[in-house]
Each structure stands twice: as structure tokens, then as C-alpha cells.
Amino acid sequence: MRVLVRRLCEMGNANKELAARNDQVFIGTYTRYPAAMVKGAGCRLTDAEGKEYLDFLAGIAVCGLGHCHPAVTAAICRQAGELTHVSNLYYTEPQTELAELLTAHSFADRVFLANSGAEANEAAIKLARIWAGENRYEIISLTGSFHGRTMATVAATGQVKFQKGFEPMPEGFCHAPFGDLASLESMITDQTCAILCEPLQGEGGVRPLDRDYLQGLRRFCDKYDLLLIFDEIQTGMGRTGTLFAYEQLGIVPDIMTLAKALGNGLPIGAMLTTKRIAAAFTPGSHASTFGGNPVASAAAVATMKVMLADGFLAEVRAKGQYLHDQLQLLAARFPALATKVRGLGLIQGLVLTEAGVEKGGAIVSRMFEKGCLINFAGNVALRFLPPLIVSREEIDQMIQLLAEVLGDI
């Protein structure tokens, strides 16, 4: 009994001890919750003290198949035992198979593999500029957008809070008002080479762009000989109920960027485009040491095969509608805190009232305490990004916990 009591006391301090060690050696760029995650399975995480969490954040839309999906785990282990890295001076089977899958199931003919979403967007920015030629370098993105943390991608990001302190920003980026076609067209000049946007702004507060607006962007690009770049780093890989969001919007971009759920947890990004546009890149014009790493590529191949199986994406759409409907019922139940629900598939946002916004951080913290992970996006909406394998029962469990928290507040 004494041994059991001692072990339980030791476990009770495990989260604090790891946090203290971490804080002694890491630069303070993150505000972390007081939990050290040690294990994951499906839609559940377990911390160092044995507490279980229902994960409706999925590593911020990364673990689309949930934690430690058996098919992905098997692919990682198998590839790690065969070949981990040889550089892009040589061909490898996993990255070739991944590129074949991506082109077979999208508008694209050509793929560039990187390690992250920011790197994929950097590649897209460079490709657009070199394709357009001399003196055409400006890229128009949207207010509220988020495209990464590198200097170029943070300059493309339409949120000043991410740029503050890093000025001056690289030139060649401007931001059009969200959803205003006339304003955007007025910003097009002889120096413009591309329009960059997310079909749905995730960090901006789960804000989908209207289909008519996106079709207007396509018309502008055709009219003024510009490239339309879709940042599908968060919306791609099944999150919206189709493999890529553009498939349900009636618009085909010229360039598309992917990352997050592509490797189901392993770092990998991709830039997709057509053969005609890709020809602007030649050997030496762009590269990545680790891009398309065999292990990360093998994980991505396994992830894609699961998502492309019959019925998988249809079920994502059905569960996305179910989540939307349940959140809408909560909005009606707590009108002082929430107004409406918006999103596509299994990225949904509960938009808060002015009073609710003041409590947004507290709501997320209370949900954490109750063992459920969500976040607060754009200082306007609670964001829900469960693994695509989430069950309706797990959705019901999250809704019940959220109802308790909103009721208490």
C-alpha cells in the first residue's frame, strides 16, 4: 500500500516536473497548458499523470486520422527500418508514390515536397514570382489570413499581431479586405503576380469565403494573368469533407499548398501546381534538404490511402453536419454567449457574442480542466478540429461538456 501511495504521489507531480524542466531550456514562444502528453490513441490523449483528454483540436488539424493510427504507425515503422534519409539528389519510392497519389486526386501535374506549411507557402510565393517574370512580384492576400511564421509568409499573413516587432516586413505583399471583391480588384497593379487565400480562414476565426467571392478571384486571375494560390494547409486532406476544399467550391486554383494532416503528425508539406507553371522552377532554383523525407512520405502515403477509401470522406461530411447541428443547438441555448456556427466538414467554429468573446479563453481553459481540448480562434470563435475518425458519441460527449461550461459561465 505504501508503495502504491508513493507512486500515485509521484504521478501527481509528473506534469509539473516536466513543465519545470521544459521551462528551463526552451525559449518562451509558447503559452502551454499544464499537461505533458505521453500517449495518444484515436481521439484520446493521456498526460503524464494518467488523465485522459478528448481531443477536438487534433494537433491543430494535424492528426486527421487520430493519434497513432495503425496503418500510419505501421508505415512509419516499416520505412524507418529500411531507409530514413538520402537527400533529394536521389529518387525514393515513398515520395514518388506520394506525388503520384497527390496528382492523381487533384488538378495538379507536379509536386514539390517540403517540411511544413510555411515552407510550402514559401515555395508557392517563389514560384509565382519567378513564373510572372521581372517586376511582377506583388501578392495580394486577405485580412484575417494566416500563412505561416517565416518572414515572407508572415508578411503575407493579414493579421498585424503576427508581424508586430519584426518590421520592416519584406516588400511585395498587400492585404485586401475580407470578402470585398471590388477593393481587391482595385489593388491589382502591373506588379501583381498572384492572389493568395485560404478557402476558409482557420486562425482568422473559422471564416469560409463565399463561393461567389472565390469565383470572382478566379475571374480576376484569368483577366489580369495572375496565379490563384489556395492555401489548403488547414482545409486540405479531408478536413472539409472532400480531399481538398476547392473540390466543393467550383474553383480550380493554379497552385495549392498542403501540410498539417498530410503526414498525420509527421512534418511534411507540399506545393501542387500544373506542368505549365511548374516549368518556371529549374534545377537549383528551389530545394529542401528534408523535403519528401522517406519516413514522412511513407506516413503521408498511408494517410492518403485511408482517406481515399470508399465512404471515408462521405462520413466526414455527415459527421461535420452533425457537429454543426449540435453546436447550433448550443448557440440557441446560450444566446448571451454564442451567435452562430460556421465552417465546412469537421472544421467548425462557434461564433461568440461580445460578452462571449470576453470569456473565450476561460471557456477553453474550463474545457481543458474537464478533459476536452478545443481552442479560441481569431478572438471571435471557439474552434473545433476533431480527428476525422471522431464518432458521433464523442461529438455528443464534447457537446455535453461544452454545455456544462457555458452553463456555469
Q: Residue 280 is part of a domain; what is its CATH number?
A: 3.40.640.10
Same domain, 303 and 329: no
Q: What was the pLDDT predicted at 11?
A: 53
Provide the domain limits for residue 388.
Answer: 12-68+311-408
Task: Give yes or no for a contact between 92 and 292, defined as CB atoms under 8 angstroms apart.
Answer: yes
Report which residue type is found at 206: V
How many domains does the chain divide into?
Answer: 2
- Where residue 42 falls (left for φ over 0; alpha for ψ -120 to 50; beta otherwise) is left
CA distance 335 to 351: 11
Question: Cell for 407?
Answer: 452553463
DSSP state of 137: -
Same domain, 268 and 283: yes
Report which residue type is found at 387: P
Q: What was the pLDDT predicted at 4?
A: 34
Domain contains 231: yes
Question: Cell for 85?
Answer: 534519409
Question: Cell for 120?
Answer: 510550402
**Model-level pTM?**
0.94
CA distance 21 to 29: 15
- The yes-or-no verdict on residue 5 having pLDDT over 60 is no
Same domain, 179 and 32: no
- The yes-or-no verdict on residue 9 having pLDDT over 70 is no
Q: What was the pLDDT predicted at 8?
A: 40
What Cα–Cα distance (Å) separates residue 119 from each residue in 267, 291, 316? 11, 9, 28
Please write the tens of the pLDDT for every residue from 284-338.
Answer: 999 999 999 999 999 999 999 999 999 999 999 999 999 999 999 999 999 999 9
pLDDT mean across residues, the chain:
95
- The per-residue DSSP string of 29-98 comes to -----S--EEEEEBTEEEETTS-EEEESSHHHHT-TT-BT-HHHHHHHHHHHTT-S---TTS--HHHHHH
SS3 282: coil
Region 31-56: mean pLDDT is: 96
Residue 173 forms beta bridges with which residues? 139
Domain contains 368: yes
CA distance 289 to 90: 12
Please write the tens of the pLDDT for every residue from 272-283.
Answer: 999 999 999 999
Strands 192-197 and 227-231: parallel
Q: Which CATH number covers residue 24?
A: 3.90.1150.10
Largest CA distance in the chain: 78
Q: Give me the torsion for CA of 324, 390, 116, 203, rounded to 10°.
A: 20
Same domain, 187 and 325: no
- The yes-or-no verdict on residue 245 having pLDDT over 80 is yes
Domain contains 243: yes
Please write the tens of the pLDDT for every residue from 46-94.
Answer: 999 999 999 999 999 999 999 999 999 999 999 999 999 999 999 999 9
Element spanning 134, H or E: none
Q: What was the pLDDT predicted at 71?
A: 98
Domain contains 2: no
Please write the tens of the pLDDT for every residue from 167-215.
Answer: 999 999 999 999 999 999 999 999 999 999 999 999 999 999 999 999 9
Same domain, 345 and 377: yes
Radius of gyration of the chain (CA): 22
Q: What was the pLDDT predicted at 391?
A: 98
How much of the chain exceeds pLDDT 70, in percent? 97
Task: Give yes or no for a contact between 140 and 171, defined as CB atoms under 8 angstroms apart.
Answer: no
Neighbour-count burial for 31-46, b at 16+ CB within 10 Å, e otherwise: eebebbbeebebbbbb
Same domain, 103 and 222: yes
What Cα–Cα distance (Å) separates residue 20 from each residue in 6, 33, 282? 21, 13, 48
Residue 44 forms beta bridges with which residues? 41, 54
Element spanning 380, H or E: none
Q: Which domain-ending residue is among 275, 307, 339?
A: 307
Instruction: Return the axis-axis angle of helices 2-12 and 14-25, rounded to nearest 10°.
Output: 40
Same domain, 187 and 226: yes
Instruction: Return the axis-axis angle of helices 70-80 and 294-307, rounded to nearest 10°.
Output: 160
Domain contains 17: yes
Same domain, 36 and 121: no
Domain contains 6: no
Scanning the structure block, which residue is given the C-alpha cell 475571374?
Answer: 219
Question: Cell for 313?
Answer: 470522406
